[in-house]
Amino acid sequence: MKGTKTRETKYDAVVIGSGPNGLAAAITMAREGLSVKVFEAADTVGGGTRTKELTLPGFKHDICSAIHPMAKTSPFLRSLPLEEYGLEWIYPEYPLAHPLDNEPAAVLYRSLSETVKSLGNDGRSYQKLFEPLVQNWNKLAPQLLGPLSLLPDTPLLMARFGLKALQSAESLAGSYFSTPRAQALFAGLAAHSILPLDKLSTSAIGLVLGAVGHVENWPYPKGGSQAITNTMADYFKDLGGEIETGRRINSLAELPTSKTILFNTTPAQLLDIAGDYVPSGYAGKLKKFKYGAGVFKIDLALSEPIPWKDEACRKAGTVHAGGTLEEIVNSEQCLENNSHPEKPYVLVAQQSLFDETRAPKGKHTCWAYCHVPSGSTKDMTEPILNQIERFAPGFRDLIIGQHTMNTQAMQNYNPNYIGGDINGGKQDITQLFTRPAGLFDPYHVPDTNMYLSSSSTPPGGGVHGMCGYHAAQSALKQFR
């Protein structure tokens, strides 16, 4: 097998990168009694789940991921005893609110029936769309959060989901809903896809995020997202695993000998590090892998909570400040046109409202970002602040500290965020289910002992660890 060491091996597995998927892969291997070592370029573990005082002392900001419905509902993460290692979940009163100019905010309540009731004429359509998903979530989750299967466990349920999920969010919102509130709510959910909303399959992410809101709320870890990977790392070490931070791997020659290598990187880095060992046909496919649009992020220290006009927004952990369906469609269309929206769709998280450990007493944090074209260096601070101010007059006066990151800063911070793409690759219909190369086993680098375990594999972006878990399952076949 190419890439296999012939000397006596030091480890059963080495993992390059300690993001949630890298640690998930490492834990899955270590749980089988294998010797595993993780190498991490940064000084701390965590990848997209780190927390830091970015603005002022005492204000803890999530540098990347903030809100974690996918972690809480992930079949893999649920199987880990992370609470015993100190992970504590915070549940906001409402998962999500979506303010509008001339109407009450649309709210994703934890309760499906409350949401249905709140949406008036569109309540029944909302119920028709989400109830089958919410009721069957435990059966659907393992299938939705894994590689595409030609023989799903519940074919009828999956087919029903697929019929809706494959549609563009713009057309699904238009065909199911007639009121601006329901349309905007769905558009805001689907825009997490970081794609123009007229693209096929943009409904998939909206449907999943809405459903998990009803299944588990949209919780986040006390103290910051760093707690997820810190507790994973502690558990991994108790299983006998080793972690070396501050060690960026540039070539396979830098690694100790091992029976298998898992890459918590994107395809581009896999090729940089191990290109000579990657079969040329497969390398050709990886070179065609598409990276997605980027993000511009802002973290704020505030003297008071955000003064949202609509009371519901003051009770939500997450607020989508993007306006109507049409506005969100226009904002996300810019990603395709290589332009920047004046009124961007802004994702806002206000963790300190429900987690007093995030800021000094009485003070607050604000985490917000918008989508921008890949590689953009445009400063989107003003458009982001304007959107929040639009729904929360007086907000700007409360800012006492500020930190921003454009797409370059994102990539400098984490080499996996190529051009600012936070999902490890474009999640369009050609790559959503079969990334990175359209192979039956998306994790295995053919004819080698190497595996890709990052969010560049199914099920893609988000903190759920499922990519790492499935990659390790693929790698474990080598040992069985």
Ligand X SMILES: Cc1cc2nc3c(=O)[nH]c(=O)nc-3n(C[C@H](O)[C@H](O)[C@H](O)COP(=O)(O)OP(=O)(O)OC[C@H]3O[C@@H](n4cnc5c(N)ncnc54)[C@H](O)[C@@H]3O)c2cc1C
Site residues for ligand X per CB under 6 A: 16-22, 39-42, 47-49, 64-68, 70, 248-249, 264-265, 269, 295, 297, 369, 410, 414-417, 422-424, 454-455, 461-463, 467
Closest approach, Cβ 466 to ligand X, in A, equals 10
Nearer to ligand X, 96 or 398 (CB): 96
Nearer to ligand X, 22 or 95 (CB): 22
* Chain center to CA of 330: 23
- Name 44's Cβ contacts closer than 8 Å, sequence gap at least 6: 50, 226, 245
- For the chain, the first-to-last Cα distance in angstroms comes to 16
CA distance linking residue 33 with residue 29, whole number of Å: 7
Closest approach, Cβ 245 to ligand X, in A, equals 9
Question: 237, 26 in Cβ contact below 8 A?
Answer: no
Nearer to ligand X, 198 or 354 (CB): 354
Residue 50, helix vs strand vs coil: coil
Closest approach, Cβ 162 to ligand X, in A, equals 23
Nearer to ligand X, 83 or 244 (CB): 244
Closest approach, Cβ 254 to ligand X, in A, equals 9
Nearer to ligand X, 182 or 321 (CB): 321
Q: Quick check: bond before 436 cis, omega within 30?
A: yes
Closest approach, Cβ 47 to ligand X, in A, equals 2
**What's the count of helices (H) and strands (E) in the chain, helices before strands?**
17, 16
Question: 232, 27 in Cβ contact below 8 A?
Answer: yes
Sign, CA torsion 131/135/138/139: negative
Nearer to ligand X, 135 or 374 (CB): 374
Question: 79, 466 in Cβ contact below 8 A?
Answer: no
Nearer to ligand X, 99 or 461 (CB): 461
CA distance linking residue 327 with residue 331, whole number of Å: 6
How many CB atoms lie under 10 A from the CB of residue 394? 11
* Chain center to CA of 168: 20
Could you give the angle at the alpha carbon of 65 between the alpha carbons of 338 and 464, nearest 5°? 110
- Name 135's Cβ contacts closer than 8 Å, sequence gap at least 6: none
Nearest C-alpha neighbor of 262 from the set 289, 281, 280, 241:
241
Closest approach, Cβ 421 to ligand X, in A, equals 9
CA distance linking residue 233 with residue 323, whole number of Å: 40
Closest approach, Cβ 409 to ligand X, in A, equals 10
Nearer to ligand X, 22 or 241 (CB): 22
Closest approach, Cβ 120 to ligand X, in A, equals 29
Backbone phi, psi, residue 61, to 5°: -110, 140
Nearer to ligand X, 49 or 448 (CB): 49
Closest approach, Cβ 454 to ligand X, in A, equals 4
Amino acid at 103: E
